[in-house]
Amino acid sequence: MEQQDFDLYFNITYLLCSFFCFCYILQLTVGKNIPKKIDSILIITFSLLYALLFGFRGEEVGSDTSQYIRIFAFVNSNQFSFDLFTDYFFIFLSLIVGYFTNNPSYMLLIVALLYLALFYKFLINLPIKNKLLIFFVFVSMFFFKSMGINILRQGLAEMLFLVSLTFSMKGERKKYIITTVLTFLSHSTMIIPIIVYLLSKKFYNTKTNALAIVFLMSIILSFLSVDLSLILNNLPFIGDKYLKYLNPTSSISASYDTGFKPQFVFFNTIFFILGYLLIKYFKVYITPFYKRVFFTYTLLSCILFLMFNIPYSDRIGLFSWALIPIIVYPYFSILKSKILFWRWGIYVFCIILFLIFNQTA
């Protein structure tokens, strides 16, 4: 599928999804939830549509697609060595697919199906209604397409992390441990959100005002060019590959925009405020799990702000951005008139975000 066709079908799929979500919100406005069966059918349908789009894309679609085709060929060649890679889950997946076929298109399709299937698993594990709205929020984000066609390994890792969080919420300890391990094996840097979420078990009851102060202080420090790279340089689990990001050559630094990024601060602040308002004024609907995720989102946002001085800081941003579906879901499940304005606001914001950032990946 060529770039022009991909963009056309991608936009059509999004418009259809936004139309159904518009109907959802109209139903919620009159106090009616969408039937569970209809909700599930729509989510599965749109998940398959996106998976097929990502899986059957041409090599010219996405800046990294050709690279993944080369990786697939190399992994299944006689020259391959495990010493050259750290993201073992993706390598094992490539070996399994390569055992049956040498066609890289099937590898791209399997990864795309797994990417959307993991997000679907995350959604069905959440004990909420109207889940297509959460799906819509996710596909509206500027990083959704990138994780599906460019940064595949981190995309799979982020989805595994979301699924692991739902197993934690449900108290399914073995499944939580297994998916957490797979998350780390998919992308070793995921140890950062894993550790922060573990810390949240002790600190999730931290006052929201205190979290707001920490959040604000990290923005101020970031503006003053204070960063965390010195600390991360000395962590034992940061491999040589990632140390290159922390200590980039002058050529990499020159080709990538580093320094304070107000657009990322604005974006993360919006969802911090949404979570803050829920915990502050709708306590009766807020679970300990939600508080843990909000704590995790806050700290991961602070880490992002303090990493603006390194190239590819948007990859750090994905740690917090992947949690956005959890941050916003109460706005689509609480049937209160006070939520109505915010519900429509999130819907409109998502569409605006898609229209602004939906460019060729």
The HSE-up count of residue 306 (CA atoms within 13 Å, CB side) is: 19
- What whole-number distance in Å separates Cα of residue 4 and Cα of residue 231? 44
N-term to C-term CA, the chain? 14
pTM of structure:
0.89
- What whole-number distance in Å separates Cα of residue 151 and Cα of residue 64? 7
- DSSP 8-state symbol, 257: -
pLDDT in tens, 19-56: 999 999 999 888 788 899 999 999 999 999 999 999 99
Average pLDDT over residues 129-140: 95
The HSE-up count of residue 29 (CA atoms within 13 Å, CB side) is: 10
The HSE-up count of residue 223 (CA atoms within 13 Å, CB side) is: 9
Q: Is 80 left (phi over 0), alpha (psi -120 to 50) or beta?
A: beta
Residue 32, pLDDT score: 83
- Name the CA dihedral angle for 112, 125, 316, 140, rounded to a multiple of 10 degrees: 60
The HSE-up count of residue 59 (CA atoms within 13 Å, CB side) is: 7
Contact 187, 266 (CB under 8 A): no
Domain boundaries, the chain: 3-357
Per 3-state DSSP, the chain is made up of helix, strand and coil in percentages (nearest 5) of 75, 0, 25
Residue of 255 and 311 predicted with greater confidence:
311
Closest CA to 161 of 133, 198, 113: 198
Which residues, 6 or more positions from 166, have their beta carbon under 8 angstroms from its beta carbon?
121, 122, 125, 126
Residue 248, pLDDT score: 53
Q: Which amino acid is at 220?
A: I
pLDDT in tens, 90-113: 888 888 888 888 888 888 899 999
Instruction: Give the pLDDT band of residue 260 (cuts 50, 70, 90).
Output: confident
Average pLDDT over residues 223-237: 68
Contact 111, 309 (CB under 8 A): no
Percent pLDDT > 90 in the chain is 54
Residue 86, pLDDT score: 67
Residue of 348 and 284 predicted with greater confidence:
348
